[in-house]
Each structure stands twice: as structure tokens, then as C-alpha cells.
Amino acid sequence: MASDARRLHCDQAPAWAELQSYFDGVGRDLDLRDAFRADPARFDAFSQDAPHVFADLSKNLIDIKAEALLLQLARECGLEQHRDAMFAGEPINVTEGRAVKHWLLRTPRGASSDPDAIEVHATLDAMLAYAEKVRADSAITDVVNIGIGGSDLGPQMAVLALEEFAVPGKRFHFVSNVDGHELASVLRQVRPESTLFLIASKTFTTVETMTNAQSARTWFEAQGGRDVARHFAALTTNIAAAADFDITTTFGFWDWVGGRYSLWSAIGLPIAIAIGTERFRELLAGAHAMDRHFATSPLARNLPVRLGVLDVWYRNFHGFASRSIAPYHSALKRLPAYLQQLEMESNGKRVDMQGMPLAQASSPVLWGEPGTNGQHAYFQMLHQGTDRVPVEFIAVKHAGHTLAGHHGQLLANGLAQAQALMQGKADRGGHRDFPGNRPSTFFVFDRLDPATLGAFLALYEHRVFVSGSLWGLNSFDQWGVELGKVLAKALVPRLDAGDVAGLDASTAGLLKRLTPRH
């Protein structure tokens, strides 16, 4: 399929109508407890291995017929052609006229004939050599990443997730917010002579990042810091802007890497410094294994596809508006925030490729906290609230610590929550009743290591691709972030001056409250 403009609207595909009547007749009322009783092979039918990740989908409100229809829908909508177009480097990001090639960043040397492959590997080699130099430099004790969105969430999440593998003697800090409290707090903890600042910005124009970078630079010089070349590096596609900032150590990437898909590029430098060359290559290899799985597995055994069509089933037929992420591993603390950007910035769209309104709902809200913490906060609502929210559990078989008695409790709690959501409990009625039949997916990792993390993140990227593709939207632009940026820019001088002329009454009233002059 050469052009996305010709992609079929899925709601007009024959399978959509069939799904609707199947949902109205049977699907809506599927009861998981009955489904397990009726089909002893249900667990096997709805669970599968994919590279580094095992997934149990059997506690979802789906049956073999519904999944078959959803896969038929995917075929009718040209999902496979769309996927192949991405992997062929076609400009499927139609609103920006760009290819979508984050997968190339993790393709092994020599395995792709893409014209950018050579440059990708040359940059990766240079970045990893630099990472090794920093790792070996005991005078550098603190690495401060200044970036926001995709230039923050991925590296921050991964450095935390892979803490067990991190080089000793270095602390990692992540400054994203334009709120000066964040940078000020980090600057109080570091010294110029032992700090490396990484200015991470795809565009090198993002106001938050530029403001923080400027302040860091001013602080560095005011504290007697010397040798900007040694203490500042830029990670960006905009090499010229980095040079204007007088940064000479720069690692580039390309406009075909979306911000939220960029941790595999130079944006991953903090990860590479933390875990080193070999481990960083394992992260890439894990993601690549998942890329191959997505590109080549039959749809019925293709995990990103099975998850993506389930997302469509839940959002458009069941009408579920949110999904909760429950990593039962505290090192995955920032995973929900990372996945929020990945899914909601990709698929939080209301128009199709041509800018025409979509006929159906798109991205759900993603949210979550690590288990068991969530159990003592919002799980009440998941078990007994009026809404049904699909929950995604992530459990890791082997702990990365040796403390006795913890890991078994952690895993048992994750299993128990999924069990409770499904089973429910009839008690004396009223407050003590659990309705059950609440859906969940359960992911199992053997270990939380770089390869597994890479595979899981790629799985999620592709799953978001699948639902976005079926919804017929462009998962790779983000026009919705622009308006607020423009308005904020206009309000900055007004706040200083207390100027409310022409503003709506609410913004005017609030600005007066906030303006320092009043």
C-alpha cells in the first residue's frame, strides 16, 4: 500500500459490522468465570511467548470468535501493509511527510539495506565510545539530563529500571520541568567540576529545555566551572542550534525518530552511561527481536497485534475509556508515565489521516503505579467501582535483590489481584460483594534486564501502532501540543506586566491573582 490516504476506514470494513453484532449478541455479556469453565484450554489459547516476554491475555473479555473477527478486521484494514510500509521506510507520518524508522536504530549492523543504516551505526558507535569514556572518568560523579517528553521519560524510566546494572559511583538526575524548583534542587546537589550536563532535545527549541539549559550553563560559569566542552553535551537533530549554544560535543539523530520513540537513539546516552556498551546493545537487541516478531509472526500469534486489536475491542465495543498499568517491580516506577506519552501522544487524536473526524473513539487514558502500592490506593475502585478498567500486570520471576521473603509476597500479590478482579466474591451483598469479571492482562518477564526491557518497550510501540492503524489516525504527529505552547508564550510578558487586555474573564482573573505586581 503506497499511500496512507487510501487506507480503508476500519469502521466501514465488513468485519466491523460483524464485530458489532457479535458484541451485541454475545461479546458484551462474556463472563470470564464461565469462559474458563467451558474451555479448559482457554489459558493456552490466550497466552503466548514473544521474545523475552510471556503474556497471558486469557483474563480478558474476549473469546476465540471475537479475536478471529478482530484479526479479520486488521487484515481488511490493511494493517499488514501499513506495518510493512513502516519497515520499508515509507513516509507513513503523512502530516509531517516523514518516515517512521525508530526500528532502524536497533537493527544490527549489516542487517538492513536502508540508506540511513550506516550513519545510524556510526553515531551509535561514537555515542557508546563517549559513554565508556564518561563511565571510566571517576571525576564525573553526576550526570544531569535536561530534556522533556521523549527526551526525558524514556531515559529516566530506563535508567531507573536498569539500576541493578548501573555503573557504581555515578548519580543520574533528570530535569524536565520549566519549574525552577526542579533544576534548583539538582544544582544544590552537584558541583560544576564533577557534573556532566546532557542537553537532550530533538528540536533544540523546546522552551522548557532551553530555559533549563541556559540556567544550568549560567550556574556552571558562576560557580567557576570551566571547560564547557567537557561538561556539556547535546543530543539533538538540530546540530546547528546546539553549536549556537556553544556545545561542541554533540550526538545527532534524525527527523524520522519521533520524540517518544527516541530512547534508542542518542537520546539514550544516559542509559548507555549507566549500563555500558554491552548492556545498551542488549537493550537494542531485545527491541530488535520484538521488531522481527511483529514484522513476521502470523497475526494470530503476533503479540503486538493481539494486544492492539484487544485495545480496539475494549475502546470501541466495550467502551472502556482507560487502562491501568500495574508493574509489580518498583524499578518500573516511571513506566506508566513513559507509556502515557507513548500511547496518548501517539493515539490521542480525533481526526484521520486526511484530517476528517474519526467515526470512533481513540486512545484510552493510561495511568498506574507500581504494585503493591496501588493496592492500598485506587484498587478499591478497580474492584468495586462503577467503571470497569482493564488492568495490565507486569511480574518479574527473578528478583534483582537477595532480601528474603519479599519477592514471593510481591508476586503473590500481583497474582491475587488479577485473580480477585476476575473471580469476584459474593458475600452478604452490598458493601462486601465483589462483582468480578473484571479484565486484566498479565505479563511475565524472567528478569528485568536490558534485553527484556527493550523487547517490552518495542512490544508497546508496536501495539500502539496497531490500534492507531486500525483507528486510521496518524500515530506519529502531535499537533495537539502546539496551541498551549503558543498561548503560554504570549502570556509570559502579560504576567510580568499584569496585562489582561482582551483576555477571557477567567484567564484575566487568574492572571491578576498570579501576577507579581498585584
CB of 344 vs ligand F6P, minimal distance in Å: 11
CA gap 268, 161 in Å, rounded:
13
Among 60, 93, 151, 440, binds ligand F6P (CB under 6 A): 151
Grid cell in block for residue 388: 470497569
Distance between terminal CA atoms of the chain? 60
CA gap 328, 418 in Å, rounded:
12
Q: Is 94:474 a contact under the CB 8 Å cutoff?
A: yes
Site size toward ligand F6P (CB under 6 A) is: 14
Which residue's C-alpha cell is 452478604? 428
Q: Does 206 bind ligand F6P (CB under 6 A)?
A: yes
Among 135, 170, 202, 463, binds ligand F6P (CB under 6 A): 202
CB of 143 vs ligand F6P, minimal distance in Å: 18
CB of 156 vs ligand F6P, minimal distance in Å: 12
**The one-letter amino acid at 403:** L
Three-state SS for 477-496 is: CCHHHHHHHHHHHHHHHHHH
Catalytic status, residue 462: no
Catalytic status, residue 121: no
User: Which window, 119-127, 202-210, 316-324, 395-403, contacts ligand F6P (CB under 6 A)?
Assistant: 202-210
CB of 400 vs ligand F6P, minimal distance in Å: 29
CB of 246 vs ligand F6P, minimal distance in Å: 18
- For residue 52, the SS3 value is coil
Q: What mask, x for binding ligand F6P by CB under 6 A, covers residues 458 to 487?
A: --------------------x--x------
Q: Of residues 336-365, which lie at the interface with ligand F6P (CB under 6 A)?
A: 345
CA within 13 Å, CB half, 374: 25
Q: Does 148 bind ligand F6P (CB under 6 A)?
A: yes
Q: Does 176 bind ligand F6P (CB under 6 A)?
A: no
Among 27, 51, 89, 149, binds ligand F6P (CB under 6 A): 149
Nearer to ligand F6P, 47 or 203 (CB): 203
Nearer to ligand F6P, 203 or 297 (CB): 203
User: Which window, 35-43, 196-204, 312-320, 355-363, contacts ligand F6P (CB under 6 A)?
Assistant: 196-204
Q: At what angle do helices 450-471 and 303-312 cross, to 10 degrees?
A: 40
User: Which window, 64-72, 133-141, 143-151, 384-392, contacts ligand F6P (CB under 6 A)?
Assistant: 143-151
Question: What 8-state DSSP symbol labels residue 350?
Answer: S
Residues 6+ apart with CB under 8 A from 222: none
Phi, psi of 460 (to 5 degrees): -65, -40
Among 51, 259, 364, 454, binds ligand F6P (CB under 6 A): 259
- For residue 65, the SS3 value is helix
In terms of Cβ atoms closer than 10 Å to its own Cβ (0-12, 13-18, 19+), residue 367 is middle
Q: Does 231 bind ligand F6P (CB under 6 A)?
A: no
CB of 482 vs ligand F6P, minimal distance in Å: 8
Task: Count the neighbouring beta carbons within 10 Å of the beta carbon of residue 296.
Answer: 9
Which residue's C-alpha cell is 560544576? 192
CA gap 36, 468 in Å, rounded:
31
User: Which window, 50-58, 149-157, 329-337, 375-383, contacts ligand F6P (CB under 6 A)?
Assistant: 149-157
Query: Can you name the residues that pair with 440 across neighbouring β-strands?
Result: 391
The residue annotated as part of the active site, out of 398, 485, 489, 512, is 485
CB of 102 vs ligand F6P, minimal distance in Å: 12
Catalytic status, residue 208: no
Phi, psi of 171 (to 5 degrees): -110, 145
Q: At what angle do helices 482-497 and 505-514 cross, to 10 degrees?
A: 50
Q: Does 209 bind ligand F6P (CB under 6 A)?
A: yes
Q: Does 150 bind ligand F6P (CB under 6 A)?
A: yes
Q: Does 439 bind ligand F6P (CB under 6 A)?
A: no
Among 48, 203, 330, 384, binds ligand F6P (CB under 6 A): 203
Using omega within 30 degrees of 0 as the cis cutoff, is the peptide bond preceding 372 cis? yes
Binding site for ligand F6P (CB under 6 A): 148-151, 201-203, 206, 209, 259-260, 345, 478, 481
Hey, which residues are catalytic here? 345, 376, 485
